Chains A and B, each alone.
Chain A
Amino acid sequence: MNAREVAFRTFAGEIAGSSLEIKGDDEAAPSYLITPLGLMLNRVFVAGKLTEKSMKGTDSEPIWNAVVKDVTGNFYLQAGRFQPEAAAAIADIDEGEEPYVGVVAKIRTWTNNEDRTYVNLRPERIVRIDEDTYNAWLLDTAKDLWRRLNLVRTALTFPEASVKELQEKGMTESEADGIVRALDHYDRPESQRYAKMLQSALRQILPGKDIDFGLPEDASDFRDEIQPAPQQETLPGSDDSGMDAFDQKEFILGLVEEFDTGSKGAPRDEIERKASEKGISADAVETLLDELMNEGQIYEPNLGFMRKI
């Protein structure tokens, strides 16, 4: 389906420890990071306190790094020249107050020569939120984590089950697919680790209650196996738009609207120029314009000029 990728809510702790990636061949094809619990991540919706922001790169091409901390660990954000709104938002937010932020981001991974996997979040949207909204996010994320823990538990009782067989037990196809892949690749997930996350989340939401699941209080709680790529100015592969097919098409359509002054239409070269700023190649622009025309969304009133229908 060409539909927009759903943004899964995950704790930092679940992303940490993820090293399984499936990549698509095509430029616009999505790639997924599979967590040890089988969640197939492409786009995520996370929240936490914004701490530690820094700017690398040049004034004309700034790279903004930021750390967002939830109750289970850290998310490492990196916004480059193709994420101007997100970069501007990070620049604006004062981390001194450690404000809560909500982030919609794409997962970007990179494995180095020594097989170490780095996971970054490339923010599409980042906004300040209040504590209530943060708590709501914690609750939704915890509820989903709990639900998926139970799915994994079910899958573990049928070790050789296929995707279809798991679907018959009530999972959706993508849930079953992710879990089968995860159990194949990773060691058996430690339920204590995830129970800890639930505990931390519930403690934050219900501060008055004494919540203790009887888990060992380990100093190495947040075992951050994933660290931000050290000393990297930019991650390789960050010079693309990070947009999937759906987003790119919406974006091009938006440009047609934007550049159409009402006389001749939106000039193709302007569209290409703006699109390249976002990391979309001229070839891709041509393909997308063709597709939009075939779908009847735009037409070419004058040669080289596009208009929305």
Chain B
Amino acid sequence: MEYEQLTPIVEELTKVLEGKASREDIEQQVSTYANVYRIEDTRRIRDAILKKYGMGPATDVSFVTADHVQKKIADLLGNENRVDILAKVVYVEKKTVTIKGTMRHLLSGTLGDETGTAQFTVWDGEHCELEQNATYMFKNAYTKKWNDRVQINIGNQGAISKENVTLDVSANRPAGQVSAGVKMKIADLTGSEPSVDLEVKAIVAERKTVAIRGESREIISGIVGDETGTAQFTVWNADGVDMADGCCYALKGAYTKLWNDQVQVNIGNRGTVEPIDKDIVTTSAPVIQPKPAVQAPGEKKKIGELTGSESNVDILAKVISAEKKDVTIKGEPRTIISGVLGDETGSAAFTAWEGGSLDMETGCVYLVSNAYTKLWNDRIQINLGNRCTVTKEDVEISAAEPKPIAYSSSVAKICDLREGIGSLTVSGKILSVENRTINSRGEDKQVWSGLIADETGKIQFSAWNDFGLAEGDAVRIENAYIRGWKGIPQLNIGDRSAVDKIDDTFGDLSAAAASQKTVGEITRTGGGLDMSVTGTVLDIRAGSGIIKRCPECKRSILSNECLTHGTVEPVADLRMKIIIDDGTGAMGAIVNRDVTEKLTGISLSDAQEYAAENGESSVPKLLGERILMRNVTFRGNVMSDEYGPSMIVTDAAPEDRDINAEAEKLLGEVQEALM
């Protein structure tokens, strides 16, 4: 682990253990835990060291170090690791987002104190109740910067307590404004300024109430102008702001965006609107096209390489289809061309926004320079804006017709799926599916769950909407995410996913081989269904041999007492608990009676006879003699926890190996390298 990651723990521990341990001691111990024991979780390291000094693990959320820094919002820099903030909740809303495949519930909004305001997020805040306009002490928060704005974060180390204080929030001095915006003229705006100051006249200013994310907000929008041009604008929080047609204002800390190739001026939390006494003479020119900023030559890419976030790219492609359309954008009639461009690596939809003057013929090849790309429903869209130049090229391209629209989400094979992946595309055949109603947080929800497989493996899936899945269907699922259960990845198909039926090229998957992995790979990627591992049986553990089971629930029991069923007549069974080690890792495995009999040649009755003569505890030794040090291929479902992976074995067979052939191969390699 990097030194920088360890320093905060060392700091914390040094403070807490002051007098009990020196900083050098602590550094050494932390280093040992991190680098020798390889403990990744810094909290575990901290807890373990605290325990050594007789201090319990810090599970209490209010565990804070001795010194605490409290800051005013205006003083926040965006790099604080732990800071206390006393602030009023100006605005708050609940949100659910999916991050790295996991659903997280957040509270987010705006906090304010007398020095300014800033956006905040409470992570995993589903049990947190924050009242708008109430004041709270946010302890142990951390700050980050985003788009030059300070964001306050309350994570699981943070604590929130209500305070009986009234704060006068200054809406006009938001935090994080390190420098005033750049003074510019409208004609020079490019649409990517994060902080700009303008002196403008409000040509048209309309106050509106709109619904944003389900909440009513008051905004002001319209057109502003100066002597160089005009642009559309929006003030996102109209509280305390008044703009009248024909009056002039100084806009400070505004940010600009491009929308349909037009510069939009935005006043957000950080921006301010102040009336000024100047008179600004505006041109009568209509809403102006932004001056093309100095463009670096666009990077040349093939369609297959596009990610959907290029702002400046050159593409040489053939027009597979194109249509001129007359549309209305923001009340203005525009002519656009939309269609599909293709090259030998793929195809993607395109839109040329200045279609009136452009000519793009189907079948012809064009070089589009300075285009930009976006994602829409996870599909790449190529945009030809007014910065873009289109030149006809006299070359031939055989566009990859059979290849479908270039997708952005990564395509994965089932054997590669593991916890934490989100936004993935996978194709497979539905092996089984059933519909259930489950109750989640007081709500009845329908879920369609079952098994899906491709040629590399199987995985359980849960679909939260009815996608019309049926057994035997071959489907492609886009934008799915993985959640894990005991280390076994499960495929989740949710609201943002798309399911398409595809041609069944999978064949009979029921006989498909299990996915082959080494123990080391499983340890790294987590468990899975129907996996195959080949290794040496290096140990046979307690719990092996003849065991008793409750006839009702099949749990293993001692004597004749079952926890659930009381006194029962136990049923004898045979099993082995072994360790499989293949040199890359060690995995536990539970081998049932059938497979035990198969591998060792000892049946339950054999074992019982042996036990009658030599005692039950001699059975594991007997089994050990037959199984230890043997190379065996095991098949089964693998679960994973912090102690490593473990397999429930469904079948096993001695490794099929040609020692001579392998040895000859190694010999050849070594000889070649040495000679």
Contact = CB atoms under 8 A, between A and B. Distances in A.
Interface of A: 1-9, 22, 24-26, 29-30, 32, 45, 47, 102, 104, 124-125, 127, 129, 132-133, 135-137, 139-140, 142-144, 146, 172, 174, 195, 198, 202, 205-206, 209, 211, 213-214, 246, 250-251, 253-254, 257-258, 260-263, 309
Contacts of A8: 583
Contacts of A174: 38
B543 interface: yes
Interface in B566-611: 579, 581, 583-586, 588
B488 to A, nearest CB: 17
A137 B624 CA distance: 18
A202 B536 contact: no
A139 B579 contact: no
Contact of B579 (A4, A129, A214): A4
Contacts of B246: none
Contacts of A47: 629
A136 B659 contact: yes
Contacts of B560: 262
Pairs A-B, 3 closest by C-beta atoms: A3-B644, A254-B542, A262-B559
A254 B543 contact: yes
B549 to A, nearest CB: 14
Interface string B611-645: 00000000000001100111100000000001110
Contact of A250 (B37, B542, B662, B669): B542
Contacts of A2: 642-644
11 contacts: A1-B523, A3-B642, A4-B588, A8-B583, A26-B37, A124-B539, A132-B659, A136-B659, A202-B667, A209-B667, A214-B675
A142 B561 contact: no
Contacts of B584: 6
A8 B29 CA distance: 27
A262 B581 contact: no
A127 B669 CA distance: 32
B659 A102 contact: no
Interface of B: 29, 32, 36-39, 519-520, 523, 536, 538-539, 541-543, 558-561, 563, 579, 581, 583-586, 588, 624-625, 628-631, 642-644, 657, 659-660, 662-664, 666-667, 669-671, 674-675
A104 B667 contact: no
B419 to A, nearest CB: 16
A309 B542 CA distance: 16
A270 to B, nearest CB: 14
B520 A262 contact: no
Given A3-B523, A8-B583, A206 B664 contact: yes
Contacts of B660: 205-206
A136 B629 CA distance: 10
Contacts of B644: 1-4, 246
Nearest to A198: B670
A133 B520 contact: no
A59 B181 CA distance: 88
A122 B391 CA distance: 77
A129 B657 CA distance: 17
A25 B624 CA distance: 34
Contacts, number: 132
B391 to A, nearest CB: 41
Nearest to A255: B542
Nearest to B35: A177
Given A136-B659, A198-B666, 13 more contacts: A1-B643, A3-B644, A4-B644, A6-B581, A29-B32, A29-B36, A104-B538, A133-B629, A209-B667, A250-B541, A250-B542, A258-B542, A261-B559
Given A139-B666, A202-B666, A7 B538 contact: yes
B523 A142 contact: no
Given A1-B642, A257-B558, A9 B583 contact: yes
A203 B1 CA distance: 43
Contacts of A32: 36
A22 B36 contact: yes
Nearest to B644: A3
Given A3-B643, A127-B624, A172-B520, A261 B558 contact: yes
B558 A262 contact: yes
**Secondary structure dominating the interface of A:** mixed
Contacts of A144: 583
**Secondary structure dominating the interface of B:** mixed
A258 to B, nearest CB: 7
A7 B628 CA distance: 14
Contacts of A136: 631, 657, 659
B659 A135 contact: yes
Contacts of B29: 25
A66 B534 CA distance: 30
Contacts of B37: 24, 26, 29-30
Contacts of B643: 1-4, 246
Contact of A133 (B563, B588, B630): B630
B640 to A, nearest CB: 10
Nearest to B624: A127
B571 to A, nearest CB: 16
A85 to B, nearest CB: 8
Nearest to A4: B586
A258 B620 CA distance: 14
A219 to B, nearest CB: 22
A45 B581 contact: yes
Nearest to B585: A6
Nearest to B538: A104
Contact of A142 (B519, B579, B666): B666
A127 B670 contact: no
A102 B38 contact: no
A127 B623 CA distance: 12
B670 A195 contact: yes
A251 B667 contact: no
Contacts of B631: 136
Contacts of A104: 538-539
A137 B560 CA distance: 44
Nearest to B541: A250
Contacts of A45: 536, 538, 581
Contacts of A132: 659
A25 B586 CA distance: 24
A260 B146 CA distance: 59
Contact of B659 (A9, A205, A214, A260): A205
Given A4-B586, A213-B670, A139 B659 contact: yes
B671 A24 contact: no
A140 B657 CA distance: 12
Contacts of B36: 22, 24, 29-30, 32
Nearest to A249: B643
B629 A146 contact: no
A24 B631 CA distance: 32
A5 B586 CA distance: 7
Q: Which one of A6, A45, A139, A140 has the highest number of Cβ atoms from chain B below 10 Å of its Cβ?
A: A6
A15 to B, nearest CB: 16
B614 to A, nearest CB: 14
Nearest to B563: A309
A211 B667 contact: yes
Contacts of A195: 670, 674
B536 to A, nearest CB: 7
B661 to A, nearest CB: 10
Contact of B583 (A5, A140, A263): A140
A125 B543 contact: no
A221 to B, nearest CB: 18
Contact of A139 (B523, B559, B663, B671): B663
Nearest to B52: A26
A24 B32 contact: yes
